[in-house]
Amino acid sequence: MAGKKDYNLFDKDTQAFIYNMQTNAVQRMLDFDYVAGRKTPSVAAIVNPTGNDGFQKFFFGPKEILVPVYKSLKNAANKHKNVDVMINFASFRSAAASTEEAFAIPQLRTVVIIAEGVPERRMRELNVKAKQLNKVIIGPATVGGIVPGAFKIGNTGGTIENIMDSKLHRPGSVGFVSKSGGLSNEAYNIVSQNTDGLYEGIAIGGDRFPGTTLLDHLLRYEKNPDIKMLVCLGEVGGSDEYTIVDALKKKMITKPLVMWVTGTCSKAFKTEVQFGHAGAKAGSESETADAKNTALKAAGAVVPNSFDDYGEKIAIVYKDLVKKKIIIPRPEPPAVKMPMDYNAAVKAKLVRKPANFISTISDDRGEELIYGNMPISEVFKKDIGVGGVLSILWFKRLLPNYATKFIEMAIMVTADHGPAVSGAHNTIVATRAGKDLISSLVSGMLTIGPRFGGAIDGAAQMFSEAYDAGKTPQQFVDDMKAKGANIQGIGHLIKSIHNPDMRVTIISSYAKKHFKSTPLLDYAREVEKITTSKRDNLILNVDGCIGICFVDLLRSELTKQEADEYIKMGALNGLFVLGRSIGLIGHYLDQKRLKQGLYRHPWDDIAYMLPEKEK
């Protein structure tokens, strides 16, 4: 900042504060910095008065950087003494107050006000104060400006592709100023096609009382030896252009000026026309675009016949300066390749990347969540139920109604076996110890295994292997006895052949009535006849019945290979996990509802085994 000339508001070392969290604008500035060859980012920090101190992540070329975020502008200024520009993205309601806040900080020289519609009285006050404090305001209602190869304000110049096409990544010889941001971007492109490019471009904004005028910037350009020609766009309404006429007459502007005042079409209307900007309305004949263009031409400016030949006039002046060797064209530097954002590259089908993991059962990246190939709206429209959802997410297809109903039945009958089993006991103890729901549930679920729930998988595997091997029920029983192994799915502590388990009756009856075939269930019933002949409680229990019936179901709806794969993966035990979690959560909630006084320590249950003197 110390070596900056008074006619330069921005150079390659300029850094700015961005007032308000405008991440898109910041990223565009940083992208420009990279292609312009800047070594340091042009954004020193973001001031977010409604947020907290911290950092925001951005790209600087191919690398990621952290840009500091401050709640206080004063604090930001204390941390970054070199910053002399604030780009103010505050709303029109608070833009004036935040600009005054910037005025109170001596190091901040230039304030760019983006908001449109700042109250005119407040802008007139700010303009007076700016002159008193030797501050520079660009705006309001501006997109800002650009110094190619050095500094870009916010969203000026549009996308990085437009920046490169308009040669805004490196300096040229032309100084440009207008009121309109949209016309500025168009003019930058025209300048790039007809000259060696832009040196600096500013849009002062379309509100009635801008902080700086067209003439203010033309006079800066006049002082800058690197700027060889001037280009300007005025507009209908107001008298700013006549100050340029006076400056030309007084030789305050000596460099060639190509200028056009837009709005000549207003004469085609019978009534007064208000154009887009607050000041773009002719209140008298002298404020018309035609009158201004005539005055500018008489004062020595190069004025085209219409906007259509604006570029042609610019080219004529440029070529004349080249011929006189006032402008010496330089070789075009190699363009810096801007890395494409990954998401944009994917959308454009320019890159491919192996997935970290693959999921084929659901997808929530589209307009609505999809289970398999079924949108969630169809899940409810077709009323496929919990069993249907489970069949899609587990088996990647919607099974028939009888199958999804069986799934729901299996979940219902496995929901709880009472408080004495290991899972329920552990859940209860963890709950009484003050643990939360998830911790208590996990405590119970971790006990699931061959003696608690795992028999569903074990029975399915044991019986299907014996059946597939062609063993008779007697051979199967004899083999297991020879191995000294229990037959999983056979046996019950309480129930017997004379006191059957109603859950087994319900499940097996449903299977016999609705399944396409039940070869494994029939096989298990024959095994049961042999085992109950030895002891009447060696019946087919509920875990075994569910597992065996599920094998019959899967083999009816899937290929045998697919069905066997699911059995080996433990899918059937998933039914027990799902169903039992319902019961264990119930035990957790039940214990939370009970008063502490109803709970006895487990020690009380075993105290009777101690010697009398130790009780």
Comparing CA positions, the residue from 510, 326, 486, 334 lying closest to residue 413 is: 510
- The answer to whether the Cα torsion of 123, 128, 132, 136 is positive or negative is positive
- What contacts 304, CB < 8 A, 6 or more positions away? 258, 260, 310, 312, 313
Rg (CA), the chain: 41
| Cα–Cα separations (whole angstroms), residue 327 to 173, 229, 318, 605 | 7, 9, 8, 102
Q: How do strand 198-203 and strand 174-178 relate by DSSP bridges? A: parallel
On the 0-12 / 13-18 / 19+ scale of CB atoms within 10 A, 513 is: exposed
Select which of 169, 277, 492, 587 is catalytic.
Answer: 277
* Angstrom distance (rounded) from CA 318 to CA 492: 100
- What contacts 409, CB < 8 A, 6 or more positions away? 506, 507, 510
* Residues 444, 424 contacting (CB under 8 angstroms): yes
DSSP letter for 540, please. Answer: B
- The answer to whether 498 is a known catalytic residue is no
Give the count of beta carbons closer than 10 Å to the beta carbon of residue 329.
12
Helix, strand, coil % over all residues of the chain, rounded to 5: 50, 15, 40
Ramachandran sector of residue 307 (left: φ over 0; alpha: ψ -120 to 50; beta: rest): alpha
DSSP letter for 483, please. Answer: H
Helix extents (H) in 81-225: 95-103, 120-133, 160-165, 181-194, 214-223
Active-site annotation, residues: 277
